[in-house]
Amino acid sequence: MSTLHTVNKSPFSHQTLASCLTLCASGDSILLLEDGTYGALTGAPTTALLNDAIKRGVSVYAIKDDLAARGLHSQLIQQITATTYQGFVRLSCQHKNTQSWY
């Protein structure tokens, strides 16, 4: 049974994504949205934690529109899947629970 974690805060000014990455379990998914999408950058302070989580079997997604709105096109962590708000709904249905790290 898995959990969908949503993060909407920038890892450059908040510990939110770091906490989420530390405490999510294998089989869980993380969705980066709004300012959380800055966490998809290879230069983010949470990149090492994020790569570790992916290796543990955590899937990471980011909302395409939120990336685009912020001009985030390059230097993104490759294993992150871009998705839409419909994708967000689909992810919500595929997981038992959602934890919002706001």
Partner 1 sequence: MKSMLCISRHSPYGNALGREALEAVLAAAAFEQNIALLLMDDGVWQLQDQQQPLAGQQKSIARNLSALEMFGVDTVYAHQGSAQRRGLNSQALCIDSVQWLNDQQVRQLMATHDHLLSF
Which residue, 73 or 96, has its beta carbon nearer to partner 1? Answer: 96
Contact between 61 and 87 (Cβ < 8 Å): yes
Residues binding partner 1 (CB under 8 A): 1-3, 15-16, 19, 22-25, 96-102
Which residue, 6 or 83, has its beta carbon nearer to partner 1? Answer: 6
Which residue, 8 or 83, has its beta carbon nearer to partner 1? Answer: 8
The distance of closest approach from Cβ of residue 71 to partner 1 in the complex, given in angstroms and rounded to an integer, is 29
The distance of closest approach from Cβ of residue 51 to partner 1 in the complex, given in angstroms and rounded to an integer, is 17
Helices and strands counted in the chain (H then E): 4, 5
